[in-house]
Amino acid sequence: MNDMTNAFSGPGPDAVFAAYLADGRFMLQRCDDCKKHVFYPRVLCSHCGSPKLTWQPASSQGTVYSTTVVRRKTEQGGDYNVALVDLSEGPRMMSRVEGLAPHEVTIGMDVRAKIIDEPRHGKLLVFMPTQGGGA
Amino acid sequence: MKATDLRGKTAIVGVGLGGLPSAPNRSSMEIQTEAVHHALTDAGLNLSDVDGLFTGSSHAFMPALSTAEYLGIRPKISDTTMIGGSSFVGHLLPAAMALQYGLCDVALICYGSNQGSGFGKLKSMSEPQTYEAPYDPRHPITSYALATARHMHQFGTRREDLAEVAVAARRWAQLNPLAFARDDLTIEQVMASRMVNDPLSKLDCCLVTDGGGALVLVRSERAKDFPKPPVYMLGTAMAHWHRQISSMPDLTVTAAAESGPRAFAMAGLAPADVDVVELYDAFTINTLLFLEDLGFCAKGEGGAFVRGGRIAPGGSLAVNTNGGGLSCCHPGMYGTFLLIEAVQQLRGEAGARQVDNAHIALCHGNGGVLSSQVTALLGDASTL
Ligand SMILES: [Zn+2]
């Protein structure tokens, strides 16, 4: 019953994830039953349906699964990257890779998560190349 | 009771188009209604005969209510399942079930949009995707670009192969007087067109046009009572695995890999039996993905498959014979146009673009960002 209470009462997974992020922490849910990780945050495990999801710190390591350059006029801010990153824990997320030109991001590139302050969204998860990206 | 019970039980007896190639200063409802009128005339029926309504919209919250009120009809059953542009191919299923169970006698599938001319400004009902929106993907092209990039990476697909799809569609469109884009087009021109979302350029993207489509369906037992040769629904299947691109399990495999085999099983057919193929080509990558997922070629070989004009007029497989979303029309959602073109081909009334001996057509609808997939197999009387 405790698990049910945790899953179905109090701030929901969206709010918890956002609160962690606002605190500078990238946290992922892991299923106590099937042991798989879940992203985006959910009430039930999307692999097995279990409500027993526990927050754990993310490794922050990932690999670029696909990438594109959104072409935009220079006066509107110029081209930018949108990438899909496979986290080492398994789930995939949309993000962007920073620290190099948008077209230099390549599929298979190892990347590391970084939380930045973004004027429009507050804290935002982006990724940097692991190579030369520092700790 | 099993899915195959629906094979051949429903007949399309009327089709109609509206607002093509463009309809400035006409509303979406006006364009849709033009298509409905033509479809009913085609079937020799009146509005008062329609008692089942299957419709959808990207900007109306209760499209069945608005449509029925505008037409002055009182449906006994309506369905507005919204799974994106594939919805109208998907509507074949509830329409067939409603007809089969006697919930209605004449089912109308319809859609219209003035997206091209923009009269009245379209406002999408699409819900924001919380975990993607902060990265400013352009909807929907960024998602399709990510899928394209992955296909190129994994299988060596080239931009020239994508361009081949656009050129084939244009060559079909040049045979269709209602198509929006009919100028000559070469692979070099597609390659040189403005990059929008790498690796997709402007000419890899579908058109933004006006247009409407409508179909009238009845139980097959009375299909011969109508003026035009009936076209039968042999099999239809739906599958969807995700909503947003970041949740798509493998960007090189769509749920068409599931809807296709189920539709073929219902129809008792295989890809080799198909004479005409209508695929939802929102972007050039779609055609490659669906040719692969539906079994016309192996996974990863879509690029090689389309080379040398293979899906163009005169090629070995007739694909998107009206010019597709790339060159015929794409008024926001394209589903009805897949079905209407298939019906016209199976009736033998497709004019200069008519495919010889067309008895079986495959229509494949796509919705969202490669999200929802619906495959339908249609046939003429010889296929029953
Ligand atoms: Zn689980």
What is the residue-level pLDDT of chain A in tens, covering all 135 positions? Answer: 344 456 899 999 999 999 999 999 999 999 999 999 999 999 999 999 999 999 999 999 999 999 999 999 999 999 999 999 999 999 999 999 999 999 999 999 999 999 999 988 889 999 999 975 444
Q: Chain B: residue nearest A87 by CA?
A: B246
According to the model, what pLDDT value does residue B122 have?
A: 59
Answer yes or no: is pLDDT of B37 > 70.
Answer: yes
CB-closest option in B130, B138, B194 to A70:
B138
User: What residues of chain B have any CB closer than 8 angstroms to a CB in chain A?
Assistant: 130-132, 134-138, 142, 145-147, 149-150, 153, 194-199, 244-247, 251
Residue A95 with chain B: CB contacts under 8 Å: 135
* Distance of CA B259 from the midpoint of ligand 1 (Å): 26
Contacts of B138 in chain A (CB under 8 A): 70
* Residues B22-33, mean pLDDT to the nearest whole number: 96
Residue B210 structure tokens: 């006006």
Query: Ligand 1 centroid vs A55 CA: distance in angstroms?
Result: 13
pLDDT of residue B1: 85
Report the pLDDT value the prediction gives residue A119, as an integer from 0 to 100: 87
Interface test with A, best of B139, B146, B200, B242 (most A CBs within 10 A): B146
ipTM computed for the complex:
0.95
The proportion of chain B whose per-residue pLDDT surpasses 90, expressed as a percent, equals: 96
Yes or no: say if B252 and B151 are a contact pair by the CB < 8 Å rule: yes
Cβ separation A71–B136 shorter than 8 A: no
Q: What is the distance between the alpha carbons of residues A10 and A55, in angstroms, rounded to a whole number?
A: 15
- Can you give the pLDDT at residue B120? 52
Measured CA distances, B334 to A38, A98, B114, B282 (Å): 34, 37, 13, 8
| Residues B142 and A71 sit within 8 Å (Cβ to Cβ) | no
Residue-range domain boundaries for chain B:
3-118+207-383
Chain B nearest-CA residue for A117: B134
CB B236 within 8 A of CB B9: no
The label of the residue with tokens 């709010």 reads A15
Strands B200-201 and B195-197, by their bridges, are: antiparallel
Report the C-alpha gap between B332 and B28 in whole angstroms: 11
Domain B3-118+207-383 grouped into CATH 3.20.20.70: no
- Closest approach of A71 to chain B, Cα-based (Å): 5
d(CA B36, CA B327) in angstroms, rounded, equals 23
Gap from B168 CA to chain A (nearest CA, Å)? 26
CB–CB contact B142 A82 (8 Å): yes
Which of B134, B145, B251 shows the shortest C-beta gap to A124? B134
Burial class (CB in 10 A: 0-12, 13-18, 19+), B312: buried
Nearest CA to B90 out of B219, B262, B224, B205 is that of B262
Q: Do B135 and A96 touch (CB under 8 A)?
A: yes
Are B146 and A67 inside 8 Å of each other by CB? yes
How far is B190 from chain A, CA to nearest CA, in Å?
Answer: 17
Q: What percent of chain B has pLDDT over 70?
A: 99
All structural domains of chain A with their residue ranges: 13-57, 61-129
Closest Cα in chain A, distance from residue B122 (Å): 23
How sure is the predictor about B274, in pLDDT bands with cuts at 50, 70 and 90? very high
CB contact under 8 A, A84 and B251: yes
Q: Which parts of chain A are beta strand (E)?
A: 27-31, 37-38, 53-57, 61-70, 80-87, 92-95, 110-118, 122-129
Q: Quick one: average pLDDT of B63-92?
A: 98
Residue A132 is predicted with a pLDDT of 59
Q: What is the mean pLDDT of chain B?
A: 97
Chain A positions contacting chain B at CB under 8 Å are 14, 39-40, 65-71, 80, 82-84, 92-96, 103, 107-108, 118, 120-121, 124
Fold of A61-129: OB fold (Dihydrolipoamide Acetyltransferase, E2P) (2.40.50)
Q: Residue B121's pLDDT is what?
A: 57
Judge: B246–A94 Cβ closer than 8 Å, yes or no. yes
